[in-house]
A and B are shown apart, each in its own frame.
Chain A
Amino acid sequence: MSDFDVIVVGAGPAGSAAALEAARAGMRVCLIERGPFPGAKNMYGGVVYGRILDTLIPNWWEEAPIQRWITRRSTMVLTDSQALTIDFRTESWGKPPYNGATTFRPDFDAWLASNAEEAGATLICSTTVTGLLRDGQRVTGVVTDRPDGELTADVVIACDGVNSFLAKEVGLYPHTDPSNFTLGVKETLALPREVIEERFAVRGDHGLDIEMLGCTGDVPGGGFLYTNAESVSIGLVLSLPQLAKGGIRPEQRLARLKEHPAIAPLIEGGEVTEYSAHVIPEAGYNMMPELISDGFLVAGDAAAMCLAAGIWLEGVNFAIGAGAAAGRTAAGAVVRGDTTADGLAGYRTRLETSFVLADHRKLRDAPHIVMSDLAQQKVPKVICGMAEQVFTVVNPDPKPGMFKILWSELRRNKMGIRDAASHGIRAARTFR
């Protein structure tokens, strides 16, 4: 008999959700985390969206360690000297059941893991899983870096993050293409509560989340800035191959963003309290590995379940959704006594019928469009250039027509009309 019914590797959002659901289904679950506590290794670029949590932890908002509830959402398009912001706010996101929240991952992940523990899972921290136990093709357990560190289970759920050495060991990732990945770098800047309320026009525990395009220079990517209780977090997401070639280091690119005339006043005087970095699986559906093998499931970043689709940047919710599905599937398979790949096939079905794979499949071209040279280099200039022309009063000349402005900006940025139209149609098809 195995030591455990289910072993979950990694106590991030995916792992804790998997352990929670499996433990609730009566499984003997071991949740293994390499950090000294869950969340110690984790950072992210923004916001946790709560709807998926409703299904796991009713009234989660009463106990989750939240910094601010997002009631204001901005999308900002930048050039070196211009910025166009679309700003939306709604009070309905500021009361239960809420929409999204900022939180510190070391707090949030530890909280989610404690829920898994309360459900009966055994949480082991400070333990790195170094490999898998296998019987032929079948995964039968894990090897850890502790003395006598082998542990067997009927199902191993790999939630071991973007580098997922376990998924690679099973052969689910054939090779790692750096162009599918981005580097996220971030600074947490301490600012007094009153200053945040004043600068970002928010009150109490309400907050703002800004996504930015056109702030990464010659490297495809984007930026973000959001408010915590008494700090703001500002960061960049940078495509790996171009970052490596560009000769400008990530923190230098971040320093440039912090100097931007539209950004500098927002963060002025903020002392850096933590600098952090993490790799993000950016390419979504098109880079996802096989999710199932004999006795083995993959969820979260390990399965590239980050959604980086321009206006939507989500990951924690997908990880929780996938983890919960993996936990339920594993429990069902253990009860039926069939934990082969066929016995676990329900995992994919669950994901396909939920937002996890539905959203990813629908938006599978979005990361490519967002990271394209056109969207990154030309569109911000055209948009900001148009805005400047529209709002510049040219008396005594008469106002130019909108089409004339559009044509002149397209021409100035060497963007063909056909090119623009075909990309527009493609984008419309992707986001329809």
Chain B
Amino acid sequence: MAETSPGYAPNTIVVCVKWVATHVHIDPLSGVVAERSHDNQFSASDHAAVEVALRTARAWNDAGSPTQVVAVCVGPVDSEDELKVLIADGVDRAIRVEAATHYSATSQPTSRQIASLICAVIGEMTSGGQLLVVCGDVSADRGSGSVPAFIAHEIGCAQALGLVEVHEGDPGVLRAMRRLDGGRREELVIEAPAVISVEGAVAHLRRASLQTTIAARSATVELRNAREIGAAEPAIATSGLGDGMVMHPWRPRTRIVPAPVQPDALGRIVELTGAKSDRVPPRTVTLEPDEAARAILDQLAEWGYEWGQDSPI
């Protein structure tokens, strides 16, 4: 947490963390995405990215090449508590970028927009030293993992994404492994400047000591405003149907089926399948779409999926 300025630590490792909902609650019928408080956190792969950054910085520092780690989050003010946890873990600076639209269950800026905001922050701290950007591979919202690729494109450097193993090398160098299809693997030597993304299993984020945790509570998370740092304001994609968000049809939850009571195995199977019980034969109806939807709902209600009259639509 020492005051570090680019002049004293020429190497910079930027670690990007995404404030993301780990659980998304979709209303079964209307498809409205509900947001609950405290659902957001940094994903396991982002935590792995932080740990990789800290280990790398330590190795480079030990080799006599001063290196600082900067965590960057394009996220709402709620994320600051967790950014302070990263400071407690050993990150030198934490920067939060305030944008009009943040990732949430109901809206998200595109990867390209996030990348350009992060690049604007990176632009502040280029100092002639080595630059390494570390990202988590995939986040809990089933993101595409494409932010690091856009960052690499914008700063014009190498990228190595989806790494399953990372070893620190000499200052400015990493050795890493990537999983390929068909049970093969690829061993890489990565030289800065570079952008990497790591899978969640690569490293376990360390647990900060009590004293650093207490000290970090009064640390400052630096704030940047998307407009002021000159990046284009992210356009808004809302309603859960924006870029990259896939809506799946709702499937009824599993329910208890009573255990069959017949004494013999055949009888139990017959009872379970309902083969010999009275049943309504399948019917084909031709209806207008809204009538058809109503018929489906009525049928489901009749089968015991009980929303009946109180359907939210």
Contacts and interface: CB of A to CB of B under 8 A. Distances in A.
A4 to B, nearest CB: 9
Contact of B214 (A124, A126, A195): A124
A146 interface: yes
B208 to A, nearest CB: 7
Looking at A107, A269, A273, the one whose CB has the most chain B CB atoms below 10 A away is A269
A148 B308 CA distance: 58
Contacts, number: 58
Given A106-B37, A106-B38, A271-B28, A195 B310 contact: yes
A124 B217 contact: yes
A127 B307 contact: no
Contacts of A65: 37
A268 B308 contact: yes
Nearest to A144: B210
Interface in A34-49: 36-37, 40
B217 A269 contact: no
Determine the interface band of chain B, counting residues with CB < 8 A from chain A: 20 to 34
Contact of B312 (A107, A122, A127, A192): A192
B28 A122 contact: no
A149 B306 contact: no
Contact of A146 (B27, B37, B207, B218): B207
A269 B210 contact: no
Interface string A138-160: 00000010111111000000000
Interface residues of A, number: 30
B310 A191 contact: yes
Nearest to A37: B38
A124 B213 contact: yes
B307 A269 contact: yes
Contacts of B209: 146-149
A170 interface: no
Given A192-B312, A269-B307, A269-B310, A107 B37 contact: yes
B211 interface: yes
Contacts of A268: 306, 308, 310
Contacts of B218: 122
Given A144-B210, A148-B210, A192 B310 contact: yes
Interface string B294-313: 00000000000011101110
Interface of B: 25, 27-28, 37-38, 41, 81, 85, 207-211, 213-214, 217-218, 306-308, 310-312
